[in-house]
Amino acid sequence: MSFVSKWQKKDQGPGIAGRFRDSVRTPVPLKSQIEEANRQIKLLIAQLDGTVNRIKQRDSTIFTNVVSSLAKHDTQHAAVYANELAEVRKMGKMVTQAQLAMEQISLRLGTITDLGEIASTLAPAVSVIKGMKESLSMALPEADKEMSEISGLLSNVLVDASTTGGFSLNFDAANEDAQKVLEEAAVVAEQRMSESFPQIPAGVLTNEDSEGLTA
């Protein structure tokens, strides 16, 4: 099968052997598989966005409790609420980072126009998803299935394309690119947290809970 037909299958009159083969298994064009993966990624992004909004609401409630406790000079309860708030914000940062990384992957998938771009685009994308999957599944178990499906679909496309195109995968370069995506997402997530969440009053957090939080 040629690169063009493998990338985007066109309607042709198959011979007897072709009709028999298609009756057993009709190959799905790589472009269609990538579009389906991107559709699932966009659904996951929307799910993560909803989670971020719920975290913001939860954060607002707990923050109000912190302020209220401090106003009553109830430092014990203020500390409890503040530590809970710290955990909520850690989760918020993690989910926001995942959302930003998925948005970057979605943009990249949308730019693929031929087989030659598959390796350089999909290999880092798969690495990013696998890198986020473990940590995100602990904070958001319902996203684990979706991420597994997306990762599996993109991996299949990558293997199929590399087999057909005869090119080898540079995993070191893919992992390096994936790390850059995650680092950039972490930086932006930190900025968003700083802009969207009010500062936790000083002196009510333990050192452990205060690590990594916006001051």
Residues ≥6 apart with Cβ < 8 Å to 196? 56
- Low-confidence stretches of the chain (pLDDT < 50) are 1, 3, 10-12, 20-26, 207-215
Tally of CB atoms within 10 A around 144: 14
Six-digit token string for 164: 């057909």
pLDDT of residue 69: 93
The full set of domain ranges for the chain reads: 28-198
- The answer, as to whether pTM is greater than 0.75, is yes
- Quote the pLDDT of residue 67: 92
| Structure confidence by residue, pLDDT tens digits, 127-177 | 888 888 877 877 778 788 888 889 888 888 888 877 766 666 666 777 888
**Are 198 and 63 within 8 A, CB to CB?**
yes
- Helix/strand/coil for 137: helix
Nearest-angstrom CA–CA distance, 49 and 18: 45
